């Protein structure tokens, strides 16, 4: 899915987009580095939703969106 999303982003000319495949409980991004986090349903499937939302909050920049 990530490979297909990368192709789609490239075809759409979205050069400012990066896509990462990662464990949602341990995102491979520095703190305050993401403007938007999109989940394909992984949050619903995780056991520790509080931890996941803490991790998302950690990587989102001020004013970032989920």
How many separate domains does the chain show? 1
**Strand, coil or helix: 50:** helix
3-state SS, residue 34:
strand
pLDDT at 34: 93
CATH value at residue 23:
3.40.50.150
For residue 66, give every residue at least 6 positions away whose Cβ sits within 8 Å of its Cβ, in sequence order, or none.
Answer: 36, 37, 39, 56, 60
pLDDT at 19: 85
The 10s digit of each residue's pLDDT in 9-65 is: 999 999 888 888 888 888 889 999 999 988 878 888 899 999 999 999 999 999 999
Domain containing 44: what range? 2-65
* 58 against 1, higher pLDDT: 58
């Amino acid at each position: 899915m990530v490979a297909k999303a990368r192709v789609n982003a490239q075809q759409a000319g979205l050069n400012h987009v990066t896509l990462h495949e990662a464990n949602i409980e341990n995102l491979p991004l520095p703190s305050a580095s993401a403007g938007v986090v999109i989940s394909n349903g992984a949050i619903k499937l995780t056991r520790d939703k509080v931890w996941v939302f803490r991790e998302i909050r950690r990587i989102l920049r001020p004013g970032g969106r989920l």
